[in-house]
Structure 1
């Protein structure tokens, strides 16, 4: 029996199903995203990148969002048709999420992954959850073929190093984290195991507990790490190769993206859809964009003080001095207004 926190009838307001899959007996592999309006652009290109590099796979994409325009819907439909795939858009009621902890970097949309896991209870055995700032550059067949044990709730990829794991184990009062702490932007969820262990309900209850909230710094990621200790399957970093484009500003940095990388996760505030992210590491995203209905859409300009600040730094780093100076002027203007 399902032990879900979110009832489909309460949280799913509407569904648009763009199904262009050819008639086949092959079971589709399900990939899901949970986003707000700021990540619709990135989500579309992320899906395009997977389709571009896995055109022999039968894939269904599920996009859970609290905002979408008719123009967005048309592009997702066109993308599904272009690649003979299926994209389903779910308009979500977020009322249950808005009272949960949030930061300027993580809004209530970070909790959509719990709605997603509960929605698929009794519908399928596994779902790949991805953050929208992930681009694909390789074959995902290993994930499709991956087998779970009965006790493994999700396949995950570590974040940081052993020193970071030790710090998280202490600050979260969870000794088991010394053996590994994962990034929740990639979760291959074993749906039956997640459901029977009541993960969504437990996570939400922890996020409403002041004693837990006082410990966590990474919101649902911290909570999921606490809940999945001993029941997570750690897989190769190539499935969630994390890199911040802002590392390009350092005097020296090591780019972990290589020929074996399957998913590039663009962590940090600068995303590959920003105009100032003109680096080689952004090419997987930009290539997918050029092979998608977003091909003619401009990359995004800065809109707030923080973005103007990073834009200025990157423009100067790229020796685009006039644009860098102008961006700094806008940054100072935004700071004064705010």
Structure 2
């Protein structure tokens, strides 16, 4: 039997299955997300964007979350029906994750990918894990057709350049990273190979190791890079094209998104579901929103000091001066209150 760290009977509290796929005997391509309540909105639109651009594919989506409302479930059900797809929502017990390292930017939800990989052990040969701040604008057929060699645990996309890889190799005391360091927001996981190497258990044990914890800055992403040295298949950046909407505030920052891009990964604190992110790079996300059950939902307004600060900067950059000044006032008010 394959090895897993997480027992699904302990971590999966409930399952809602919205299955509108025809021909039940034909397999579908599995795509999974691990999110907390702050990313439910983004997750719904991310799924819609994939469905909108892959109407001829049999796709099965899996949403692992520790929070879900009846309204959210209704929308996921409607989305599955609209595109004749399958969306399964798993309510997760996170007790085993809450003692692991976390930061202001990364909560324990970042570790859901380990629950996901273990859940699919002996259920599927592969699953595509995606962060919820990823939008699709192309076909996933290459990923469906991709072949792994015997030792390859996951298909990944490199982050940064050789200088960044060398820095991570030194910081993490993992020399093999000089050949490539990947962003863990996109992982096409070879499930049997992941289980055979007991990746989830090894990753959790490393995260609990004080020596390792003192080195890492990118939590499980760092640990996965260390574990997958010489065992990852690096693929084209079009499958994880990273871009921060806050780059719009700077001059001379090239936008890597182009017609060949399949997945846009909106890194950084400003997301395309924020109402201050009105730029061309957000249009793929907004198009998918219009073609989804979230079409009448408003984009999110700022709720904390950091968001008001970025909102103010973007409003001024977009020459919406009054909104920018008002946002700065709210920013200072929130800052003083804290």
**Residue in 1 aligned with 2:216?**
216
Q: Distance in 1 between matches of 2:252 and 2:234?
A: 29
- Runs (5+) with no aligned partner, structure 2: none
SS, match of residue 63 in structure 1: strand
Give CA deviations for 1:129-187 in whole Å, capped at 9, x if unaligned. Answer: 00000000001100000000110000000001110000000000000000000000000
Q: Distance in 2 between matches of 1:25 and 1:16?
A: 20
Residues 226-305 of structure 1 aligned to structure 2 (within 5 Å): 226-305=226-305
Residues 136-175 of structure 1 aligned to structure 2 (within 5 Å): 136-175=136-175
**Residue in 2 aligned with 1:74?**
74
SS, match of residue 214 in structure 1: helix
Using structure 1 for the length normalisation, give the TM-score.
0.99
Q: Across the two proteins, how many residue pairs are aligned to each other?
A: 338
- Runs (5+) with no aligned partner, structure 1: none
The ranges of structure 1 where at least 4 consecutive aligned residues each deviate by more than 6 angstroms after the TM superposition are none
Q: Distance in 2 between matches of 1:322 and 1:178?
A: 48
SS, match of residue 184 in structure 2: strand
**Residue in 1 aligned with 2:108?**
108
Q: Quote how far apart the aligned CAs of 1:26 are.
A: 3.0
Give CA deviations for 1:291-335 in whole Å, capped at 9, x if unaligned. Answer: 000000000000000000000000000000000000000000000
SS, match of residue 4 in structure 2: coil
Residues 50-69 of structure 1 aligned to structure 2 (within 5 Å): 50-69=50-69
Give CA deviations for 1:34-56 in whole Å, capped at 9, x if unaligned. Answer: 00000000000000000000000
Q: Quote how far apart the aligned CAs of 1:251 are.
A: 1.8
Residues 6-45 of structure 1 aligned to structure 2 (within 5 Å): 6-23=6-23, 25-45=25-45
Q: Distance in 2 between matches of 1:88 and 1:250?
A: 40
**Residue in 2 aligned with 1:325?**
325
Q: Distance in 1 between matches of 2:238 and 2:25?
A: 30
RMSD value, Cα: 0.5
**Residue in 2 aligned with 1:119?**
119
SS, match of residue 167 in structure 1: helix
**Residue in 2 aligned with 1:185?**
185
Using structure 2 for the length normalisation, give the TM-score.
0.99
Q: Distance in 2 between matches of 1:207 and 1:303?
A: 31
